[in-house]
Amino acid sequence: MAIDEDFLRVLACPVDHAAVVRDGDRIVCTACGRRYPIQQIEGAEIPIMLADEAELPG
């Protein structure tokens, strides 16, 4: 089950509360560029929106 577009629109970066977009298997903050992983759990895509799990830009 893919992440619903309506759900994606209500997600925000936990660090700076900016909007996010999907980029492949990551959720990316439009402001700071942090990349949050999306995991497959029991057939569903679950974004892991924890600052400690994010990849920093660059």
Convert the pLDDT of each residue in 1-58 to its tens digit: 788 889 999 999 999 999 999 999 999 999 999 999 999 999 999 999 999 999 999 8
Q: Is residue 58 part of a domain?
A: no
Distance of alpha carbon 43 from alpha carbon 52, whole angstroms = 24
Which domain does 25 fall in, by range? 5-53
> Looking at residue 58, what is its pLDDT?
81
Q: Is residue 21 part of a domain?
A: yes
> Looking at residue 4, what is its pLDDT?
86
Alpha-helical regions (H) of 1-58: 5-10
> Looking at residue 26, what is its pLDDT?
97
- Sign of the torsion angle spanned by Cα atoms 54, 8, 14, 57: positive
What is the total count of domains within the chain? 1
> Looking at residue 1, what is its pLDDT?
77
